[in-house]
Amino acid sequence: MYKMNHRQKPCFWNERNQVKKYNVVILGASGAVGIEFRKILLQRKFPVDKVRFLGLSSVGRVFDFGGRSVEVEAVTDGCFRGFDIGLFSAGGEVSRRVARRAVEEGCLVIDNSSAWRMDPDVPLVVPEVNADAATRHKGIIANPNCSTIQMVVALKPIHDAVRIKRIVVSTYQAVSGTGLKAIEECMSQARDIVGGGEISQKKVYPHQIAFNALPQIDVFMENGYTKEEMKMVNETRKIMNDDSIRITSTTVRVPVIYGHSESVNIETEKKITPDEVRALLRGAPGVAVVDDPAKSEYPLAIHAAGRDEVFVGRIREDESIPNGINMWIVSDNIRKGAALNAIQIAEHMAVRSLL
């Protein structure tokens, strides 16, 4: 059901059979996404020469990087000088404070926070969807929200074929999207409940998350939607370069460790059948179709965890409208939803000699 993805990794060899190497700095190196940055750079054999780890609370800790011992340093003046790429995942406040300085010191910033996503001068990029937007950067490229990334990877081929008019999405998002402390809190609460004791930890979320579902991700806004829900609306339109798409979203936190799941309903301008959708998606970059309900085969978070693909299944016609399709989309939120997408942006820039 979940076959390994043997798609070829980017080739960094030039016509003279040489590989250009890049100096890479990771800001937020000890966090959930920072850990994944380190793993994926090595797994995909990104041509790293010098590497620097930066952090806030983790300064002084030492991590292995492909046999090198690298100590986490504090952010200081000049710490980005001589580095080609900065992979940032330290939160919006830090990014707003530091990113411009990094650019001034000659470093291309690929930022995983929400700080720059809706800035009109900053491209918001998902390589399978709008890679060319990255070339219009002015020093910063924004990584979209995790739930947005997986949705647009699955929907872009359909939009290109029959134009999507409306999207209704409900998400079921893993606790890892909130960070390592949220994972620890969920696991701790689960142990307490199974052991018959009182819950000893409730700091990250406003309510118990273990064996529960919280219909709140981020803060509520004046319109009654959460910030996360409005991110999906606004970011999708920007990435798809189509402000006419009508989008409504409900985002829910569930006690899953890795892997966001989404129930997505689309209304299209032209009729498309479920079989035609499956055929489109089987040929789409970054997508894997798992859709055989008769055998109970459909995307599951436990199978998507640790994988690069966006998995799509439960593809069926919405019988309540003339041109409607329902689908179920699942992906690892820390990999494709964060670290992998950022590194794919770096790869896109590197193989085209844009760094």
Tokens 């080609």 belong to 84
| Reported confidence tier of residue 7, pLDDT bands at 50, 70, 90 | very low
**Average pLDDT score over residue span 317-331:** 98
Write the CB contacts of 160 (distance below 8 Å, at least 6 apart in sequence). none
pLDDT value at residue 202: 87
Residue 200's domain comprises 148-333
User: Does 8 fall in a domain?
Assistant: no
User: Does 13 fall in a domain?
Assistant: no
What is the rounded CA–CA span in Å between residue 319 and residue 83? 54
DSSP letter assigned to residue 133? G
User: Does 346 fall in a domain?
Assistant: yes
3 pLDDT above the threshold of 70: no
pLDDT value at residue 12: 64
CATH assignment at residue 202: 3.30.360.10
Q: Tens digits of per-residue pLDDT, 165-205?
A: 999 999 999 999 999 999 999 999 999 999 998 987 789 99
| Reported confidence tier of residue 13, pLDDT bands at 50, 70, 90 | low
pLDDT value at residue 243: 97
79 with 200, same domain: the answer is no
164 with 255, same domain: the answer is yes
316 with 224, same domain: the answer is yes
**Average pLDDT score over residue span 312-330:** 98
pLDDT value at residue 342: 98
10 Å CB burial of residue 79 (0-12, 13-18, 19+) is: buried
129 with 53, same domain: the answer is yes
CA-CA distances (angstroms) from residue 162 to 82, 157, 165, 280, 339? 46, 9, 9, 11, 31
31 with 113, same domain: the answer is yes
207 catalytic residue (yes or no): no
Residues in the chain: 355
Q: Tens digits of per-residue pLDDT, 249-275?
A: 999 999 999 999 999 999 999 999 999
Q: Tens digits of per-residue pLDDT, 75-134?
A: 999 999 999 999 999 999 999 999 999 999 999 999 999 999 999 999 999 999 999 999
Q: Tens digits of per-residue pLDDT, 36-91?
A: 999 999 999 999 999 999 999 899 999 999 999 999 999 999 999 999 999 999 99
Q: Tens digits of per-residue pLDDT, 278-313?
A: 999 999 999 999 999 999 999 999 999 999 999 999
Q: Which stretch of DSSP H or E encloses residue 51?
A: strand 48-54
159 catalytic residue (yes or no): no
Q: Tens digits of per-residue pLDDT, 206-235?
A: 999 999 999 999 999 999 999 999 999 999
User: Does 2 fall in a domain?
Assistant: no
Q: Which of 146, 159, 186, 348 is catalytic?
A: 146
CA 347 to chain centre: 16
121 with 258, same domain: the answer is no
112 with 156, same domain: the answer is no
Higher confidence at residue 15 or residue 132?
A: 132
4 pLDDT above the threshold of 50: no
The residue type of 249 is S
281 with 268, same domain: the answer is yes
| Reported confidence tier of residue 14, pLDDT bands at 50, 70, 90 | low
pLDDT value at residue 137: 97
pLDDT value at residue 9: 64
Higher confidence at residue 17 or residue 32?
A: 32
pLDDT value at residue 108: 98
User: Does 162 fall in a domain?
Assistant: yes
User: Does 172 fall in a domain?
Assistant: yes
109 with 157, same domain: the answer is no
80 with 163, same domain: the answer is no
Q: Which of 137, 159, 260, 348 is catalytic?
A: 260
Read off the tokens for 55. Answer: 């952090």
272 with 158, same domain: the answer is yes
**Average pLDDT score over residue span 336-351:** 97
268 with 182, same domain: the answer is yes
User: Does 14 fall in a domain?
Assistant: no
User: Does 12 fall in a domain?
Assistant: no
Number of domains in the chain: 2
- What global pTM score does this model have? 0.94
CATH assignment at residue 56: 3.40.50.720
5 pLDDT above the threshold of 70: no
What is the rounded CA–CA span in Å between residue 64 and residue 184? 23
